[in-house]
């Protein structure tokens, strides 16, 4: 398709028109007339210019085809970031991975054509900065948002778990005119010795009083699930 583009023909025209000398080794100032020399020089110059124009157009064409994509995530203990990396690996297309803690909302909202947004889930739900980002993107995100995901302890295996997951997504999507067509909840991870004091205390109490068990490590992360979610997104870029 690129080769049928207009600039290719113009380059070809230039090349045919310029007819560079066949034997460059024998070209010397003494062996050709001034007129021949000027013609040959003009021929090479036009060849160089047309080559540059052709190459330049290919670059521009590439940029036109590729829409810029970023994945914005919020993590506390790392599982959401890993999940985001697996999604991008599965997507197999260039995209920037952005920590919500380190971005300017307005720069990201104006600088990318496609956005994927993911959050870990903690006692009070979706990360507050992710919610603020949705608020900042009210109106804009309706056309840019490709997918959302959460990384959590709740599972879709139970009615209660599904209700929780629906609730997390509802809080994320409340500023949108319609929910994105791709959303997924992934299993997260808990490593007790990594928890900060506040989270440790809160979870110990929660496990004892609600789950009636001791707080312990668990890991439900699944790289393959995240990768296949990513590869499904590729066709929507």
Ligand X SMILES: Cc1cc2nc3c(=O)[nH]c(=O)nc-3n(C[C@H](O)[C@H](O)[C@H](O)COP(=O)(O)O)c2cc1C
Q: Does 120 bind ligand X (CB under 6 A)?
A: yes
* Span of 33-41, 89-97, 100-108, 120-128 interacting with ligand X by CB under 6 A: 120-128
d(C-alpha 137, C-alpha 43), whole Å: 54
Q: In terms of Cα–Cα distance, which of 148, 136, 135 is closest to 179?
A: 148
Longest dimension (CA), the chain: 99
d(C-alpha 116, C-alpha 37), whole Å: 59
Place of tokens 């197999």: 92
Q: Which of 86, 189, 215, 233 binds ligand X (CB under 6 A)?
A: 189
The nearer residue to ligand X, 46 or 152, going by C-beta atoms, is: 152
CB 207 within 8 Å of CB 215: yes
Residue 56 Cβ vs ligand X, minimum distance, rounded to whole Å: 43
* Span of 53-61, 132-140, 183-191, 208-216 interacting with ligand X by CB under 6 A: 183-191
d(C-alpha 135, C-alpha 173), whole Å: 10
The nearer residue to ligand X, 144 or 164, going by C-beta atoms, is: 164
Q: Which of 154, 169, 180, 183 binds ligand X (CB under 6 A)?
A: 154
Residue of minimal CB distance from ligand X? 188
d(C-alpha 131, C-alpha 173), whole Å: 9
Q: Which of 11, 46, 69, 80 binds ligand X (CB under 6 A)?
A: 80
Q: Which of 43, 47, 199, 231 binds ligand X (CB under 6 A)?
A: 199
The nearer residue to ligand X, 172 or 190, going by C-beta atoms, is: 190
Q: Does 153 bind ligand X (CB under 6 A)?
A: yes
Sort strands 189-190 and 182-187 into parallel, antiparallel or unpaired.
unpaired
User: How many chain residues touch ligand X (CB under 6 A)?
Assistant: 22
The nearer residue to ligand X, 70 or 203, going by C-beta atoms, is: 203
Hey, CA dihedral for 157, 201, 126, 109, is it positive or negative?
A: negative
Place of tokens 């296949």: 228
Q: Does 148 bind ligand X (CB under 6 A)?
A: no
Q: Does 167 bind ligand X (CB under 6 A)?
A: no
Contacts of 184 (CB under 8 A, 6+ apart): 147, 149, 150, 225, 229
**Interface positions with ligand X (CB under 6 A):** 75-80, 120-123, 151-154, 164, 188-190, 195, 199, 202-203
């Amino acid at each position: 398709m690129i080769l049928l583009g207009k600039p290719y023909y113009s380059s070809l025209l230039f090349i045919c028109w310029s007819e560079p000398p066949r034997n460059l080794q024998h070209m010397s100032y003494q062996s050709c007339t001034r007129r021949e020399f000027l013609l040959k020089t003009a021929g090479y110059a036009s060849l160089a210019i047309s080559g540059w124009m052709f190459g330049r157009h290919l670059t521009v064409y590439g940029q036109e085809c590729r829409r810029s994509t970023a994945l914005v995530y919020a993590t506390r203990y790392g599982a959401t970031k890993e999940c985001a990396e697996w999604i991008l690996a599965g997507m197999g297309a260039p995209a920037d991975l952005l920590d919500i803690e380190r971005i300017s909302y307005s720069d990201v909202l104006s600088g990318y054509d496609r956005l994927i947004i993911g959050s870990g889930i903690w006692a009070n739900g979706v990360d507050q900065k992710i919610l603020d980002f949705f608020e900042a993107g009210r109106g804009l995100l309706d056309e840019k948002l490709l997918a959302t995901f959460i990384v959590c302890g709740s599972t879709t295996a139970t009615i209660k778990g599904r209700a929780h997951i629906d609730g997390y997504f509802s809080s994320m999507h409340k500023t949108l005119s319609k929910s994105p067509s791709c959303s997924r909840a992934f299993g997260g991870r808990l490593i007790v010795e990594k928890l900060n004091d506040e989270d440790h205390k809160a979870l110990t109490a929660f496990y004892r009083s609600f789950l009636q068990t001791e707080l312990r490590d668990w890991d439900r992360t699944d790289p393959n699930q995240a990768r296949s979610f990513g590869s499904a997104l590729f066709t929507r870029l």
